[in-house]
Structure 1
Amino acid sequence: MGLILRMLEGLFGGGAGEMRRTVEVFRENAESGAQRGQVMQQAALQQFAAEFARDRRGLFDRLIDGLNRLPRPGLALGTLALFVAAMVDPQWFAARMQGIALVPEPLWWLLGVIVSFYFGARHQAKGQAFQLRLGQTLAQLPQIAAQLPPAPVAEERATPTDNPALAAWQQARQDQG
């Protein structure tokens, strides 16, 4: 028993700590991995909880935001309703389309500008709000990273230049070209 122990100490160093560190170079410590996984899962759940926290805006803000959501579905459903109206009562539909044909071109341009600015402004406002939330989340990243245990240090890894087969292949390509 003493001889085996001396051989192992000579091979891996003295003590169980050296043996553990040597083995952890090749295989992750399951307990430490489970702890890191638990910390990461808790951080993810906290982030989800923060994202889905109760909205603190007032009634007026929520009402206006709800009204701002109506034009796109209204335009889509209105267009579908025009197709249904054309099939159900073609004469009624033709009379309405003749009225639309009488609208002067500058008014169409004005309508296009208004609709473009409305949707463009809404897209920009939503994009800025998203970037603000993203920035707030990224600002919390150092705090979350500080809670994670440090990763085990891996031994020095081989570089591509240490690969004899790769070096021979590269040399053969240089000789050909």
Structure 2
Amino acid sequence: MGLMGRGLDWVFGDGRNVVAETAGIFRENAEAAARREAGMKDAALAQLAEEFARPRAGLFDRLIDGLNRLPRPLLAFGTLGLFGAAMVDPIWFASRMEGIQLVPEPLWWLMGAIVSFYFGARHQAKGQDFQRSVAETMARAGTVARNVERLERMAAPPAPANPALEDWRREHG
């Protein structure tokens, strides 16, 4: 037994686990990796939330935001107005549509490009606002998860008693 004890002390001696330490060289510690990854995610989300946290409250920004909101309703109401004009005065409407047929094709392409760029830029601005709100939400996700975990632990019922263990405790009390 002394020889085996010395051999085991050599492998696992002094409270160390040489096998686990050696394996740690070849395989990453999953728990430490998860902690590092969570820290990196938290830092990245905090940076993203900070980047989009600047409010735009100046007079110029409010004026431009107001002007940016006009084209869509004007296009929608203008189209509905054309339908109304076609019903009220078909001759007037038909003469205007004949005039539109005289617009050269490159001008139609130019108008299409301008409208596409306008709505594309608007879509991008709204997308960035959405990303900012997602980043703010994700920055709070860790705190919310920890709070939910604490609440679940408080609401969890006590572990069921082991009848065999209770009998043993009574006998050896």
Q: TM-score range by the shorter chain?
A: 0.5 to 0.7
How far apart, in 1, do the equivalents of 2:127 and 2:152 lie?
A: 36
Amino acid of the structure 2 residue aligned with 1:105: E
Q: CA deviation at 1:150?
A: 5.2
State the one-letter code of the partner of 2:101.
A
After superposition, what is the alpha-carbon deviation per residue over 1:119-170, rounded to whole angstroms, capped at 9, x for unaligned? 1111111111111121122112223334442533787xxxxxxxxxxxxxxx
Deviations 1:36-61 (A, max 9, x none): xxxxxxxxxxxxxxxxxxx7612221
Aligned to 1:138: 138
State the alpha-carbon separation in 2 of the partners of residues 91 and 150 from structure 1: 72
Instruction: Look up the match of 1:93.
Output: 93
Hey, what's the Cα distance between the residues in 2 that align with 1:85 and 1:136?
Answer: 48
With normalisation by structure 2, the TM-score equals 0.52
Residue 53 of structure 2 is aligned to residue 63 of structure 1: no
Hey, what does 1:167 align to over in structure 2? none
- Report the counterpart of residue 125 of structure 2 in structure 1: 125
Instruction: List alignment gaps of at least 5 residues for structure 2.
Output: 1-54, 160-173
Which amino acid in 1 is paired with 2:77? L
Equivalent residue for 2:152?
151
Q: Distance in 1 between matches of 2:151 and 2:140?
A: 18
What is the distance in 1 between the residues matched to 2:79 and 2:140? 45
**TM-align CA RMSD:** 2.3
Counterpart of 1:111? Answer: 111
Any idea what SS the aligned residue of 2:152 has?
coil
Aligned residue pairs, count: 102
Q: Kindly tell me: are residues 134 and 102 of structure 1, through their superposed partners in 2, closer, same or farther at Cα, counting changes over 3 Å?
A: same
* Counterparts of 1:124 and 1:104, CA distance in 2: 30
Question: Taking every aligned residue pair, what percent have the same amino acid on both sides?
Answer: 66
In 1, Cα distance between equivalents of 2:147 and 2:56? 29
1:82 equivalent in structure 2: 82
Matched residues in 2 for 1:72 and 1:150: separation? 47
Aligned counterparts of 2:109 and 2:146: Cα–Cα separation in 1: 56
> Partner amino acid for 2:141?
L
Mapped to 2, the partners of 1:104 and 1:130 lie a distance apart of 39
Normalising by structure 1, what TM-score? Answer: 0.51
| Distance in 2 separating the partners of 1:151 and 1:93 | 68
